[in-house]
Amino acid sequence: MPIHRSTLIRRARLALLTASVLGALTLSPAIAQPAKTDGQTLTLNDKGYFASRGFDVLVYSNWYDGLFSDAKMSGVEIIHHDQRTATNGDIRLSATPDQWDPIGALVSRKVDQAKGTIDTHLSYPDYKFDYRINARKDGDKVVISVILDKPLPATLDGKAGFNLEFLPAAYFHHSYFADDVAHPFPLYPASNMTQPAKGERAEPLPMASGQRFVLAPDDPQQRVTIASANGTMSFYDGRNQAQNGWFVLRQMIPAGKTGTVLQWTLSGSADPHWVRPTVIGHSQVGYAPAEQKVAVLEHDPQARLNGQARLLRIASDGKETTAFSAAPKPWGKYLRYGYARFDFSSVTAPGLYVIEYDGQRTAPFRIANDIYASAWHPTLDIYLPQQMDHMRVTEAYRVWHGDPHRDDARQAPVNHEHFDLYAQGPTTDTAFKPGEHIPGLNVGGWLDAGDYDIRTQTQYAIVRTLVHAWEDFHPERDTTSVDWATRRVDMHRPDGVPDILQQIKHGTVQLVAQFDAVGHAIHGIVEPDLVQYRHLGDAVTKTDGLVYDPSLKEGEVKGDRSGAPDDRWAFTSKSSALNYGSIAALAAASRALHEMDPALAKKSLAIAQKVWAQEQSHAPDLYRHGNTTGGPLQAEEFSAAVELLISTGDQKYAARITALWPWIAEHFVFTATEAVRALPHMPAAYRSQLETAVRAYAKQRASISQANPYGVPITEGGWAGNGAIVRLGITDYALHKAFPDIIDGKGVFRGLDYLYGTHPGSNLSFVSAVGARSKEVAYGHNRADFSFIAGGVVPGVLIVKPDFPENKENWPFFWGENEYVTDLGAYYIYLANAANALVEGNQPAR
């Protein structure tokens, strides 16, 4: 959907989203309201958090993972009637900390169930400041105490305070009390701000102050009370400083005192009889007739399975008939919920259906032979074109963005670690000096996820995946016009060229440009400072598009040059892994582009062959940093050897594949698809080696299928796992095609079912605009508008440790849950086509 909406419509939509996430997740027309009473005894459970029916308090169950600094998942947190509404309860050095502001280090955490206490020791080593936070249960309340053995250092006087952040979307359209004075929660930030000194940022002033705050007093599912025993609390709106800011309750740490210097008491509305409504996990897209069809019912662990689930068929006149009914089969407990499975695979008749169980009713979905035929179209039609850098992208009346970054790029400074996982080593490894303009990089490439950088690993992953989709399925879809000369992209206007080939060319152009410019693959191109990095809006406005000229004054412009040092930086330290990954994509692209652009195809293959020879002639360059310098060296080299073997038939690449095989066999799950692609081009003995690895993989795959009720690998790190699930589905497809007697191919459909709604926490499709109900609030370039980009795929369910599955639909700024991942879009295109091929080829995975 476009972001151009009236304020009235947007407010109404937010109201619907935030009134009850539970209702949205389960499609229930109404939710039983708990009694309007506070008061039940919390317990410190065996998972190490305070729990009651509907109100849980986590105390440092989660900690900053270091991936991208503050992820709003740490310290004291509140889960209230199945919504995480508060986080980051900790001592911070500003009222509304930015993502990269200082954070205390967690030294230790001790849970004493007998005493009902959680003790943590934390430290700001740069300030020589240590503190303890103790949490203890007191009936239906949790008492939080900040304890100092030494007084607050003088350098932190007036800076250090205990903060607790509350999710704005959870409190839109509500009010709060500060002591006995009522205030509305602002829908949009409008606080008074401090006048900043030069070089400092403006800070919001408090919206209210008091010793006792009651949030959402009118709502029995959201009401929270916080009382301070020894000071005044102030309430801030962090969104005045950053769109992803939260409401922050803060009390300053007093100077010159030791012992318990601050104490808060937290309580929340809860009902001992509250039952979390059942979530009917199912595919929002639907199912092929011969496909296995299993809905997963996620239910309150204290609720008993009751009655039968029904599959209802809906006729064109609205009449409903029961197509199938059965008692759900219990699976057991996983995370914090109970699970059961409703298998309706016996229903194969095409039609429109819904599932009913326990007062819940799903959105309608289809059973049809063409269920996957068009499910990938929004990703190719909208999402990937919208991500195209160095192009003006339009859609009918709308301009998604202008032609950005025409001033790319300046050589990054040496010995520099960037804040977004890039780094430059002790030399530039190029002919350019730090800060010098590198010509030729302002072409091609996709903007990375919800950011505005070009990450080379993303580029070559997309190119290779789309080439494989072209070779395996040959999708001729054409809905987008690309004019390379004028650098314009226009959606919904066919131009006679398959769109997938145009996307392959766009990524290839950027990879070729890197070799032309500096002679090797670079880590990527990224903005130099946080001000630009936080940019939201049209990508073309992030820089002036004019090459920086240090001889010009700030604001001075001459021709295509300016005195504004806003150009992005290119990180260029040599990495053999990056070189191999890039030439693998170039070798693959040469096959796909040989008719559309024979000159580019020829050049791509020539670069790949030349760089391969160079890399084989010397010890590898092993520079590594973050996730921008390539995957494991052996895996990247193997991929390059496979693609070059396919493209040239030269047996020297086959020999290298054989030499690498021991490492590949040991890490087969990460290299299986490449190994299968090499099969037709390798000596006969290779098949028996491959078969041994496939059989071992099949055993691993079986254990994965039993680990949770969804049969897919659900990760528990700081980034949700849809990428791993989709790639595993692609691996299953490749191995099924090559060894159908060993791998049954079920993983193809299981992965898509998960992506489309058969997952924990909700039943939303994680592909925006695909399926009856899908992600409509996500972390794209338009996230500040609480909107989405059709065809974008989000990371999915993030496990808030120890046991809470989360994917928020009312707050887009959780990148680990909601940030569109560009290469995941390409993987999804491949997997949906793979499923369609299995259906069309009468190869049911049952």
Q: Other C-beta atoms within 10 Å of 208: how many?
A: 17
Q: Other C-beta atoms within 10 Å of 127: how many?
A: 17
Together in a domain, 262 and 288: no
Average pLDDT over residues 501-511: 98
CB 809 within 8 A of CB 764: yes
| 174-201 pLDDT, tens digit each | 999 999 999 999 999 999 999 988 878 8
Instruction: Output the pLDDT for position 31.
Output: 28
Where in the sequence is the domain holding 128, given as residue range(s)? 33-268
Instruction: Output the pLDDT for position 66.
Output: 63
Examine the fold and report which residue of 604, 633, 648 is the final residue of a domain before the chain moves on: 648
Average pLDDT over residues 507-534: 96
- Give the DSSP letter of residue 803: T
Instruction: Output the pLDDT for position 18.
Output: 34
Calpha distance 256→259 (Å, rounded): 11
Q: What is the CATH number of the domain that holds 360?
A: 2.60.40.10
Q: Output the CA–CA distances (angstroms, integers) from residue 118 to 137, 155, 263, in the order listed.
A: 9, 29, 14
Instruction: Output the pLDDT for position 6.
Output: 34
Instruction: Output the pLDDT for position 36.
Output: 38
Instruction: Output the pLDDT for position 1.
Output: 33
| Complete DSSP assignment for 97-112 | --TTS--PEEEEEEEE
Q: Is residue 26 part of a domain?
A: no
Q: Is residue 87 part of a domain?
A: yes
Together in a domain, 533 and 619: yes
Together in a domain, 300 and 246: no
CA neighbor of 649 nearest in space, from 671, 678, 673 = 678
Burial 615-647 (b: 16+ CB within 10 A, else e): beeeebbebbbeebbbbebbbbbbbbbbbbbbb
What does pTM read for this prediction? 0.93
Together in a domain, 465 and 595: yes
Average pLDDT over residues 395-409: 97
Q: Other C-beta atoms within 10 Å of 535: how many?
A: 16
Together in a domain, 263 and 284: no
Residue 423's beta-bridge partner residues? 417
Calpha distance 390→400 (Å, rounded): 13
Together in a domain, 304 and 426: no
Q: Output the CA–CA distances (angstroms, integers) from residue 406 to 514, 540, 786, 814, in the order listed.
A: 15, 9, 29, 30
Q: Is residue 672 part of a domain?
A: no
Q: Is residue 738 part of a domain?
A: no
Examine the fold and report which residue of 628, 648, 668 is the final residue of a domain before the chain moves on: 648
Is the pLDDT assigned to residue 14 strictly greater than 80? Answer: no
Average pLDDT over residues 77-103: 95
**Which amino acid is residue 569, in one-letter code?**
W
φ/ψ of 665, rounded to 5, equals -60, -35
Q: Is residue 811 part of a domain?
A: no
Together in a domain, 339 and 194: no
Helix (H) or strand (E) holding 806: strand 804-806
CA neighbor of 405 nearest in space, from 515, 630, 570 = 570
Is the pLDDT assigned to residue 23 strictly greater than 70? Answer: no
| 47-73 pLDDT, tens digit each | 999 999 999 999 999 988 766 678 899
Under the banding of pLDDT at 50, 70 and 90, the label for residue 306 is confident
| 693-728 pLDDT, tens digit each | 999 999 999 888 899 999 999 998 889 999 999 999
Higher pLDDT, 553 or 29: 553
Average pLDDT over residues 433-462: 97
Q: Residue 102 is encoded by which pair of tokens?
A: 């200082």
CB 806 within 8 A of CB 798: yes
Together in a domain, 298 and 446: no
**Which amino acid is residue 551, in one-letter code?**
S
| Complete DSSP assignment for 324-370 | EEEPPEEEEEETTEEEEEEE-TT----EEEEEEETTEEPPPEEE-TT
CA neighbor of 791 nearest in space, from 363, 283, 365, 381 = 381
What percent of the chain shows pLDDT beyond 70? 94
Q: Is residue 553 part of a domain?
A: yes
CA neighbor of 96 nearest in space, from 79, 72, 65, 75 = 72
Instruction: Output the pLDDT for position 272.
Output: 86
Examine the fold and report which residue of 588, 618, 648 is the final residue of a domain before the chain moves on: 648
Together in a domain, 215 and 349: no
Together in a domain, 284 and 241: no
Together in a domain, 605 and 498: yes
Average per-residue pLDDT for the chain: 93
Together in a domain, 243 and 305: no
Calpha distance 698→163 (Å, rounded): 49
Q: How many domains is the chain built from?
A: 3
Instruction: Output the pLDDT for position 705.
Output: 86
Q: What is the CATH number of the domain that holds 449?
A: 1.50.10.10
Q: What is the CATH number of the domain that holds 156?
A: 2.70.98
Q: Is residue 749 part of a domain?
A: no
What percent of the chain shows pLDDT beyond 90? 88
Q: Is residue 737 part of a domain?
A: no
Quick check: helix, strand or coil at residue 658? helix
